[in-house]
Structure 1
Amino acid sequence: MTLPDIGYLELFYVLLPVALVGIIFYRWSIGLSDLVIATVRMVVQLIAIGFVLVYLFTSENWLLGLAVMSFMLLVSGWIAMRPLKYKNSQHFMQLATALLFGCGSVLALIIVAVLHLEPWYQPRYVIPLAGMLLANTMNSLSLAGERLDSELLISQTQELARNKAFNTAMIPQINSLLAVGLVALPGMMTGQILSGVSPLLAVRYQIVIMAAILCSAAFSVAIYLSLRLKARLITHQD
């Protein structure tokens, strides 16, 4: 089965509702700049990465792929920090470290124990998997950081603030697990089914992805909150 072709006219049709979203922003006195910039960047970035991936998928240079994933990690850390109160190099390093160890450990498990990739680095698998883990985890980190800042102002102990921040960050992940298969068919599973893969095989892949996203988010958030509170304790002692 071949996926239907999507031309530039079809892309124009699907982007038309974005204009309606812009009208809502305008009528409700919400700045349009973020919406416009985000939409334009989305289109440009996806087209650009399409050309990059065409090259990467035919390359056997694992150092080039590692460089791409490192760039993805740094950008994820920067985006995760964007809505947070404190923006400095130390905070960025805390977020990047959490992403590296949280997502990296889960990605390594999938590569070695689940997919049994030989050689271990195959861009067609590794880069999309890394992207899914980083994208979902950076959102959890933003939620955790924002809630931690709020809770530190009102909670009696740092441990209580940490626990509430962790719980808040994990709400979207838990909701996704509860909804999958009943409310939503996730993008990866839908894409595989549309491309002709057996639904049962697509389901197994999706279980792997859902579990990986849950664990990478939980590990990264736990590491991030621990680093934040440790740095805060050191600062107060000084």
Structure 2
Amino acid sequence: MTIMLDHSQQIHLEYHKIFFIFLILLIFFISGISNSAETRLWTFVSVNKKNNDFLYSLRTQTRFKNLSLQYDESVSHGEIGYLVAKHTILSQGLTWSYEKETMGSENILRLWQQLTVGSKYRLYDLYSRTRLEERRHLTFKSWNFKLRERVRVLLPLSDHLDIDGFDEILINLNNPVWVAPGTFDQNRSYIGILGKINQNVDIRVGYLNRYFFSADRTEHVIHLGVDFSY
């Protein structure tokens, strides 16, 4: 049996192909230029609330080493956002991370301000996220300032399933003693599936490629999470 696609379906399919090819090539390029690689598993649960034009979000994330469930890091996020225009959100957030090290532990506090702008097209949704981040390692007095720019694409496969992908660059605006040298800190490329269980629950499964410029190192991250919205 032969299935015939109409013109709009053919265009839709071509967009999927182009996006997949671009992201896969980017991931392989970044992986290929690094001298070392490690494997990680990240899991998260988030709770999101919308009240008129205000948005509230809490997320807890646990990170493991080498898929062996060896504990690596805990990250907790809190965010308050305001819908300033259609598809445009201004946010203020706080993040606390605790990382277990061989010789002890690291506690890092992050404060951040964020602008998210979205555009909905017939075949996909496009989002730009710009974040200014202030980080402090609690062992030191100095602050690290980072600029994070992310471009995200959502491609619907059905009413309950989307392809989710993004690329994000992290840039150091200064380099205190506890931060790796160099202006470019990390690049993160992600490809995954967003499953809509119902109007309140989303499941995310994907692969994140995390490249560290100064260390010339790549992390291959399996990313699993659940979003609750109400």
Q: Would you call these one fold, judging by a TM-score over 0.5? A: no
Q: Larger % of strand: which?
A: 2
Which fold has the larger relative contact order, with Cα–Cα distance below 8 Å and residues 6 or more apart in sequence? 1
Q: Larger % of helix: which?
A: 1
TM-score relative to the length of structure 2: 0.27
